[in-house]
Amino acid sequence: MSRGTRAFYDQLADVYPLLYDDFEAEVTSQGAAIDAVLRSWAPSTAIIADLAAGIGTQAIALARHGWTVHAFDLSPRALVRLDAWARREGVAVSTTVHDFTAGRPGGLPRDCPIAFLLLGNAVAFATDDKLSCGLRDLAADPSTAAVIGSTRVYDPDAIASAPCGACVFEHTRLRGGQSVTHRWFACGGRDYRVEVELAGTVQLSAVTMATARHRSAIAALFLGAGFTSLDWIEPNAAGFYQPMFVAR
């Protein structure tokens, strides 16, 4: 499962910015939204451990806001891009390959509160059992101030009842006069394949498995792992493109 996700995001790393209308504007607006959430929900002394940092969408944005950020991801290719971006920006963000289902990464300081990030629907890429394992480890650690995640808005029941191979998400946007289409397909109740098409030609067709969960199922996983509360923040309240949750 993890190897599939790693290969998938290694392939996606170079085209990832194309999935947004204006990636730089997205980074700026996501950074402002998460910075505000952190200021409400995490102590001002907290540092950030972005456990699914990808190419750095939120990690770089938060470093720009002055947070100390440590970035982790399964995908080495995504972290290479993040590292290069941090150097260009002149911000210090450490990068380490780590599987969040293994829990708290080693090497993080023990003497300050940590806000862990699982943004961009990262929890969907882990099965219930593996996610629970990682979350139990985070919940048990006294330095964990909060886990802040986000999920896609989709209907898990529609994905569960879709025939295998049915397209369950499609979004086309114009970039520099070229159309970019991003599609997800379903199989057996899970998202399983993504295509990115540029100007009518498929540039990437990659396979992984992602579980679409109801909010109640996400809450049950966090609370079952030992977190005492899970609050949702709607996109119109946070100014973030997905519903966010804060587990404490």
Ligand X SMILES: C[S@@+](CC[C@H](N)C(=O)[O-])C[C@H]1O[C@@H](n2cnc3c(N)ncnc32)[C@H](O)[C@@H]1O
**Site of interaction with ligand X (CB under 6 A):** 2, 5, 9, 51-54, 57-58, 73-75, 78, 99-101, 119-122, 125-126
Nearer to ligand X by Cβ, of 76 and 161: the residue is 76
| Shorter beta-carbon distance to ligand X: residue 161 or 204 | 204
Minimum distance from CB of 60 to ligand X (Å)? 10
Q: How far is the CB of 47 from ligand X (least distance, A)?
A: 17
β-pairing verdict for 114-118 and 144-150: parallel
**Rounded least distance, CB 163 to ligand X, Å:** 25
CA 214 to chain centre: 17
Beta carbon nearer to ligand X, 42 or 131: 131
Q: Which residue number, 107 or 161, has a Cβ lying nearer to ligand X?
A: 107
- Taking the CA atoms of residue 211, residue 215, residue 221 and residue 227 in that order, the dihedral angle to the nearest 10 degrees is 140
Q: Where are the beta strands (DSSP E) in the chain?
A: 47-50, 69-73, 93-97, 114-118, 144-150, 167-175, 178-187, 190-198, 201-211, 230-233, 244-247
Which tokens sit at 184? 């997800």
Whether the CB-CB separation of 41 and 146 falls below 8 Å is answered with yes
Q: Which is nearer to ligand X, 5 or 132 (CB)?
A: 5
Instruction: Locate 246 and state its tokens.
Output: 């804060």
> Least CB distance from residue 134 to ligand X, whole Å?
7
Taking the C-alpha atoms of residue 108 and residue 114, their distance in angstroms, rounded to an integer, is: 9
Using the minimum distance from each CB to ligand X, give the nearer residue, 34 or 162: 34
- Least separation in angstroms between residue 96's CB and ligand X is 10
Residue 232 C-beta: closest distance to ligand X, Å: 18
Output DSSP code: residue 185. Answer: E
